[in-house]
Chains A and B, each alone.
Chain A
Amino acid sequence: MKNLLASLSLLLILFACSSEEEPEEFSEDQFDRKVMLTHWADNIIVPAYQQYNKELATLNAATQAFIQKPEMTELSTLRAAWLEAYKAWQWVSMFEIGKAEEVNLRNYTNIYPADTSAIGENIRAQNFKLELPSKYDEQGFPALDYLLYGLREDDEQIITVYQNSESHREYLSKVVERLQTLSGEVLEHWTDSYQDTFVDASGSSASSSVNKLINDYLFYYERMLRAGKVGIPAGVFSGSPLPHTVEGRYAKDISKVLLLEALNATQSFFNGQAFSGDAKGESLSTYLDYLNSIKDEEDLSANINSQFNSAREAIESLNQDFADQIINDNSAFLSAYDELQKVVILMKVDMFQALNIRVDYVDADGD
């Protein structure tokens, strides 16, 4: 891990130095960033949040139905709704900007593994203060994963818990409600005013929308997708594998589904694929084509796409349940990690350099 961090930070330093040498004016190009931002906001980000909100409404309805009648049919419906909402989340998580950034949306939605003993304690003490940052890992999708699949050995026992415990029903309900509240706030902010603010900041300074969102996007890909979903459970940062840290640990067979959703979402965004339908618009890919970036005598955008595809192929050969995969054949899992990592290099070094955008995050001070 030290070596990896060291080489990453070396890359950062090299990159930081080289961009310092090139004054900002140098980067001024004629690409219409405003058109791209409009397409991103109108056809990708807002529709993705709308879909996510819709799935959360369905999840909430299924939750209330289960609470009213804690039976197997209702539990199955609830679990299915949870999975659909969890998949929809993979399409918005990368857009941690504006209100989402302000309310720490991702931290309250998907920090895993969940702290199950703290959740148990919250339920016992009827402590529902989910707005506290110290309770990131006691709520969101990972908490629901535990509450819907991990609470007891089998489904019958889980159902019995909900039949007998008002506290459990209430906690379940509060966790879903909070997801809905936060995502509702973020969507409302986008449609109320932020859509315009976002598009209007179309310059090329560090605080412009393109520079900020691309940094958020890369940060998401590097830390949440590559490291969170694969690298950490694979043991890349710890020396030994940590299968209990996979996403969807208790549902067991969804970690691959979620990773593929996330990968598709990030690649679609790269290509400016509209959220609904087949339409495409201005994107990182067309921006790179415009700048005519060449690597290995090929377009950088084509290189990035082909690397995304290699990563997808590697992932598709894995088990549905990553914990199972890690325990039985971690080397195949590590190969998938390597393919994902190659995308980081193409984007963080080559793409950022081509776009003349500076990476605005570094490894934390650690104190």
Chain B
Amino acid sequence: MSTRNLLLALFSSALFTLVSCAEDEDNSPSVNAPASYTFERNGQSTVSFSGQTTRIKMATELVNALGNFDAATKSTLLEMYRNETPEGGDANPYQEAALNDSDKSVRSKVAASRDLFFTNTTEGTDIKNQFELWIESQVDEVFPNEEVLAKPGTAGQIADGSSTRYVSAKGLEYNQLVNKGLIGALMTDQMLNNYLSEAVLDENVNRELNESASVEEGQNYTTMEHKWDEAYGYAYGTAADPSNPNSTLSDNDIFLSKYIARVESDADFTGIADEIYDAFKLGRAAIVEHNYELRDEQANIIRKKVSEVIGIRAVYYLQQAKLKLEQDTPDYGSIFHDLSEAYGFIYSLQFTRQPNSNVPYHSGAEVNEFIEKLMNEGANGLWNVSPQTLEELSEAIASPFEFTVAEAASND
């Protein structure tokens, strides 16, 4: 074979390869994600996640009220969590009237996903109750000591630079546990383990209805479209422009959206906000085009990235606290604030989801071990924790993820 023929042969096989690739792609209709999260049928929007918006707002009022020493009581706080009276009657605990009119609640969707808690209501109920315990402890332990200086074994206030933190006898800020714990138990669990779950998306005859464009009664969306939107709403439901949430990412809420923004601002992870948003858009477009394989690929991207946000923030706060603990004059107020945030994110790890699997990055049992280790180095909880323990926890938490402790440790 002459050189020329050889080249020609190589060229042809290259051509063939190219063609065959193109043919592979042609097997499925191509799906294009729109520029923003906007989908319509007959000129009307098909996107709806008002229930998610409502729950994010309820959770926000609850978290803010936990710091309202003057006005909040145990019963108003629990009503904000349950949106009902202890007897199960209608409650009106919220500032925003529309929330009082709603029959939704935070508690009903805590640890309530199809994939993790459908047949595990025992654990789900324990977790729901755990939040009530934190709420009650804030009122029972921290409120009475508003004007007491915190010290080992005594709840009270402690300086964190020019801010004041209010901590338990063990140094915990219960409002942070509730805030950061809900990111996992409410937003992430509902998103990754419920609405993005095949068991939910494909339930019953959802595929058939989706393919025949049979919309729900009185609505403009198919059930499958709506489920996907509900997952979306747990991240972006309170954005100023929910179809284009990344432009206001850090101001959207005090939950998932805010911490996606925080991770995005770390140069090691820049791009993650768009990866999550783009996967939501493409997955939703795939549903419109009935491409379920593509839909599930996007769900797996979201699972991986949203789980990373929680893992990265858990490690970040542990590492920040470790750095401060190693100073000559440790600023305990600041350390406790970091570790309370870390505690909430660690708690949230049990609601993460490894892609292509049914398991979180860390199980509930592992999470309990982490917390045990964090809180029980001495009799006084965080007052006794050592830098070494914080390092070991960081390593253990990061190990199943692709990021390193060093990448997560700083914001730059």
Contact = CB atoms under 8 A, between A and B. Distances in A.
Interface of A: 13, 16-17, 98, 101-102, 104, 107, 111, 127, 129, 131-134, 136, 207, 362, 364-365, 367
B162 A98 contact: no
Given A133-B164, A136-B162, A367-B254, A101 B329 contact: yes
Contact of B329 (A98, A107, A362, A364): A98
Contacts of B160: 133
B245 interface: no
B412 interface: yes
Contacts of B157: 132-134
B10 interface: no
B218 interface: no
B8 interface: no
Given A16-B412, A136-B162, A364-B161, 6 more contacts: A98-B329, A127-B147, A132-B157, A133-B164, A362-B411, A367-B258
Nearest to A107: B162
B149 A131 contact: yes
A13 B328 contact: no
B149 A132 contact: yes
B184 interface: no
A129 B162 contact: no
B327 interface: yes
B159 interface: yes
12 contacts: A98-B329, A104-B159, A107-B159, A127-B147, A131-B149, A132-B149, A132-B164, A133-B157, A133-B163, A133-B333, A134-B146, A367-B254
By DSSP majority rule, is chain A's interface helix, strand, loop, or mixed?
A: loop
Interface in B132-174: 146-149, 157-164
A102 B147 contact: no
A301 to B, nearest CB: 29
Contacts of B164: 132-134, 136
Interface in B235-274: 254, 258, 262
Contacts of A104: 159
A101 B157 CA distance: 18
Contact of A111 (B148, B162, B333): B162
A98 B258 CA distance: 35
Contacts of B262: 365
Nearest to B147: A129
Contact of B328 (A17, A133, A136, A207): A207
A243 B161 CA distance: 25
Contacts of A98: 329
A12 B133 CA distance: 42
Contacts of B146: 134
A241 B227 CA distance: 49
A101 B332 CA distance: 12
A178 B161 CA distance: 19
B263 to A, nearest CB: 13
Nearest to B259: A367
A104 B333 CA distance: 11
A17 B412 CA distance: 9
B254 A132 contact: no
Contacts of B333: 133
A134 B162 CA distance: 9
Given A133-B164, A136-B162, A207 B327 contact: yes
Nearest to B148: A132
A207 B411 CA distance: 21
A47 B263 CA distance: 47
Contacts of A362: 411
A71 B158 CA distance: 39
Nearest to B341: A367
Most buried by A among B159, B160, B254: B159
A274 to B, nearest CB: 27
Nearest to B333: A133
Contacts of A207: 327-328
A98 B157 CA distance: 22
Contacts of A367: 254, 258, 341
Contacts of A16: 412
A226 to B, nearest CB: 16
Contacts of B148: 132
A194 B164 CA distance: 27
B261 to A, nearest CB: 11
A173 B107 CA distance: 51
Nearest to A98: B329
Nearest to B265: A9
B412 A13 contact: yes
Given A16-B412, A111-B162, A367-B254, A132 B329 contact: no
Nearest to B317: A365
A111 B159 CA distance: 14
A41 to B, nearest CB: 16
A132 B146 CA distance: 9
Nearest to A362: B411
A133 B166 CA distance: 10
A310 B254 CA distance: 44
A262 B333 CA distance: 29
Q: Which 9 A-B pairs have the closest CB atoms?
A: A133-B159, A133-B164, A134-B164, A102-B329, A104-B159, A101-B329, A134-B157, A129-B147, A132-B157
A290 B329 CA distance: 32
Most buried by B among A98, A129, A132: A132
A141 to B, nearest CB: 16
B249 to A, nearest CB: 14
Most buried by A among B148, B164, B341: B164
B336 to A, nearest CB: 13
Given A13-B412, A16-B412, A101-B329, A133 B254 contact: no
A365 B147 CA distance: 26
B254 to A, nearest CB: 7
